[in-house]
Structure 1
């Protein structure tokens, strides 16, 4: 029968290296786990408090309007450091032929949900409207700018308008909960008044950002 064991190693990098050099799988102090449904946690957990925990409300019950953050599909094109910089990119990108734009901005092959021609059409039809140049919470303490029309499969591949509409309203806030893809655990809570990326913490940490609108306007309620 397969058994599952767990061990934690805390300390400085030097201390960890020293411990790993001096120990192996036979000398580590392991804790045997017995994961239980429905979560099958691979870390020690005090199940005695689970009943009390389950009495609480789920965040999705308290704040039903939510989704993962927006997904551009082409961050290097769609996310820029400054408004003026983004406006220049938009004017140039929308004026080129699709193949020249693809080559100049290193956009790669089209996918089902993001295509150069459709992105250009979205920008052209909105006439590079300055009001659509919006600040975005791209990473923690890292505010940049994107062009937000709310049109899916446009300049932004998946703009998540059902949630972003509310966050774009004056004096609203978004609660960003970042969830580990592998463990399914909630790892970070971040508050922002801006629309947010789906990899708010990092695009390499295998987390997804779920954005919850604090206030909901009638349009999508």
Structure 2
């Protein structure tokens, strides 16, 4: 098949090509730009042709999740092994931060993951690697189960941010008068907002430095889990 505009050979339409193109479109223009019609335009085919490869929009989103989680599994490897047995904290931390790097390449993915009604086979395989790492580090099945709950979406490299600039603005957008008006009713929140909104090069927040906050939360969890694993309380 040849593209009439460029004269170059066009890849034959396949499920893999449909998913690859859909992922690229969502990466560059956001999930809102993704429709079957738009995807067909990107591929140079009628939208109806896509239904030979994906049943509907939800099936398309399922396939996109599987494709990116497959990319994630390739990046992090199977999990477990001698490195995890020697230092499970470092092994799991590295695994999660690699997952975060992949997530940041696909900023639409967390919202789609949270909207899925079932867990996909590649996602099961990813969590198998997390469990392999924990078991290599000496975790019982019971503690590993609690750990998955405690980690939540952090295991996949993202978390729901408490302060999302896209949902109403952050502290940096509050004027002095607005902060003063809030101070009497909400003294602790106002004090925190006033402090972290300062242009302080030593501040770790910066309202908010998502990477810093993600790693802070992850490290707190990992430190606490290691104390649980070893039965220490110090």
TM-score of the aligned structures, taking structure 2 as reference length: 0.20
Which is richer in strand? 1
TM-score of the aligned structures, taking structure 1 as reference length: 0.21
